[in-house]
Amino acid sequence: MSIRERLSGNEATAIAMKQINPDVVAAFPITPSTEIPQYFSTFVSNGEVDTEFVAVESEHSAMSATIGASAAGSRAMTATSANGLSLMWEMIYIASSLRLPIVMALVNRAVSGPLNIHNDHSDAMGVRDAGWIMLFSENNQEAYDNMLMAHRIAENKNVLLPVMICQDGFITSHSIENIQLESDEEVKKFVGEYKPEHYLLNNKEPIAIGPLDLQAYLFEHKAQQAEAMKNAKKVIKEVAEEFEKWTGRKYEFFEKYKLDDAEIAIVCMNSTAGTTKAVVDVLREKGVKAGLLKLRMFRPFPAEEIAEALSNLKAVAILDKADSLNGAGGALFEDVTSAMYVNNKSVPMINYIYGIGGRDTTEKQIESVYSDLQEIVKNGKTENPYRYLGLRKGEN
């Protein structure tokens, strides 16, 4: 039976880690993810877990220690944000290329500079092609649930890729919400024991980790990573179905909120989905057929499924909480439009860059996006597809 509790997103993540009881956690504090290792270190100190907690000197060291622990055969975890993730840059790629099933909580925050400690998705978008599975979380419950599913996905023999669980800094990480927790015993049963097949401390199978990989083999190894990412789609679905049977909470690649009969829709990720749902409800009462597609699984990207879900709409807006600074839209917009093109689906689409540096995104602003979509449907003209939402006038 689920346990009702009131927790912040950081607390919920730390409790999930406690229930998983990993072998090693290595971490360095950085706002707004600091509370996760802080809470977890308390569990270590109190003897609630038997995890080896490594307090390192930098985020680069945190990922390095986590890689070392995972390569040795341990279940390893960490947490970071923004500049901390940037400092891990080299090791982020090494973790995925070594096919290590590390799990990391990424509390999304703007990457410097200038310095900003508040939420956007520039950190996650910076590593979107680093070979990590990426799951996004609308609220505290999803952050907790995604964390419980992460090891089952990462450690699957057909995947063996690291996973990062994303949530919005301060918006969910520090906000307290009602949440359903599962019992420690049930969590341990669901997650299971980690039994790696190949690892450094196996004296029956001497192996090398991180060897030189030149022209003869690197191409093939990268293709194997890509194949593992494709395999992850099936595994993520299977794990979610088993999770639903256990908890009653259903997760798919994305959530379709009043989308089935919608004429216009927004595509977004993380906490903005909650605001958008409230606007959809208001518009529905006014007779506007508005809908939402909230993406949960960003990597691997469910291109075919998204194209099918959006194919019957008359106009779509994709919201990016990070600017790719390429003059051609944000990362989510590029992925969605590519998915539509490759799958021979044609729907007018526009992109909004929004919420940079933690700027508030209001219901009124979201409603203005739906108004723009209605205008596109009415006159058949997209005009400028690259737009800003919430930018002060005269500064674009």
In three-state form (DSSP H/G/I as H, E/B as E, the rest C), the secondary structure along the chain is CCEEEEEEHHHHHHHHHHHHCCCEEEECCCCCCCHHHHHHHHHHHCCCCCCEEEECCCHHHHHHHHHHHHHCCCCEEEEECHHHHHHCHHHHHHHHHCCCCCEEEEEECCCCCCCCCCCCCHHHHHCCCCCCEEEECCCHHHHHHHHHHHHHHHCCCCCCCCEEEEEECCCCCCCEEEEEECCHHHHHHHHCCCCCCCCCCCCCCCCCCCCCCCCCCHHHHHHHHHHHHHHHHHHHHHHHHHHHHHHCCCCCCEEEECCCCCCEEEEEECCHHHHHHHHHHHHHHCCCCEEEEEECEEECCCHHHHHHHHCCCCEEEEEECCCCCCCCCCHHHHHHHHHHHHCCCCCCEEEEEECHHHCCCCHHHHHHHHHHHHHHHHHCCCCCCEEEECCCCCCC
Task: Write phi, then psi, for 174 (nearest 5 degrees).
Answer: -110, -5
Q: What is the pTM of this model?
A: 0.97
- Residue 107 and residue 46 in one domain: yes
- Residue 107 and residue 235 in one domain: yes
- Residue 52 and residue 159 in one domain: yes
Whether 381 is covered by a domain: the verdict is yes
- For the cut 90, the answer to whether the pLDDT of residue 394 exceeds it is no
Tally of domains in the chain: 2
- Residue 223 and residue 258 in one domain: no
At residue 393, the pLDDT reads 82
Q: Which of 69, 81, 63, 55 lies closest to 22 in space, CA to CA?
A: 69
- For the cut 60, the answer to whether the pLDDT of residue 373 exceeds it is yes
- Residue 131 and residue 185 in one domain: yes
Whether 50 is covered by a domain: the verdict is yes
- For the cut 60, the answer to whether the pLDDT of residue 131 exceeds it is yes
- Tens of pLDDT along 222-252? 999 999 999 999 999 999 999 999 999 999 9
Here the CATH number for the domain that contains residue 314 is: 3.40.50.920
Share of the chain above pLDDT 70, in %: 99
Integer distance in angstroms from the first to the last C-alpha of the chain?
Answer: 52
Here the CATH number for the domain that contains residue 84 is: 3.40.50.970
- In the 3-class helix/strand/coil scheme, how is 20-73 assigned residue by residue? HCCCEEEECCCCCCCHHHHHHHHHHHCCCCCCEEEECCCHHHHHHHHHHHHHCC
Two tokens, residue 147: 């964390």
Length of the chain: 396
Q: Which of 186, 100, 89, 142 lies closest to 297 in space, CA to CA?
A: 142
Decide which of 192, 224, 247 is a domain's last residue. 247
At residue 326, the pLDDT reads 95
Whether 135 and 298 have beta carbons less than 8 Å apart is answered as yes
- Residue 241 and residue 272 in one domain: no
Whether 394 is covered by a domain: the verdict is no
Whether 166 is covered by a domain: the verdict is yes
- Residue 204 and residue 166 in one domain: yes
At residue 383, the pLDDT reads 92
- Residue 147 and residue 41 in one domain: yes
Whether 75 is covered by a domain: the verdict is yes
- Tens of pLDDT along 340-357? 999 999 999 999 999 999
- For the cut 50, the answer to whether the pLDDT of residue 310 exceeds it is yes
- Residue 128 and residue 202 in one domain: yes
At residue 396, the pLDDT reads 45
Whether 396 is covered by a domain: the verdict is no
- Residue 29 and residue 170 in one domain: yes
- Tens of pLDDT along 5-20? 999 999 999 999 999 9
The Cα 309–Cα 52 span in angstroms is 44
- For the cut 60, the answer to whether the pLDDT of residue 219 exceeds it is yes
Angle made by CA atoms 84, 89, 95, in degrees to the nearest 5: 110
**Alpha-carbon distance values, 32 to 106, 122, 170, 208, 209 (Å):** 10, 14, 6, 36, 33
Report the sign of the C-alpha dihedral through residues 62, 129, 334, 256, in that order.
negative
- Tens of pLDDT along 265-282? 999 999 999 999 999 999
- For the cut 60, the answer to whether the pLDDT of residue 395 exceeds it is no
Whether 395 is covered by a domain: the verdict is no
Domain containing 219: what range?
3-247
Decide which of 217, 247, 277 is a domain's last residue. 247
- For the cut 70, the answer to whether the pLDDT of residue 360 exceeds it is yes
- Residue 128 and residue 262 in one domain: no
Report the sign of the C-alpha dihedral through residues 220, 223, 225, 227, in that order.
negative
- Residue 263 and residue 222 in one domain: no
- Tens of pLDDT along 135-147? 999 999 999 999 9
Query: Span 326-337, mean pLDDT?
Result: 97
Query: Span 188-204, mean pLDDT?
Result: 97
Average of per-residue pLDDT values in the chain = 97
Query: Span 201-216, mean pLDDT?
Result: 94
Decide which of 231, 247, 263 is a domain's last residue. 247
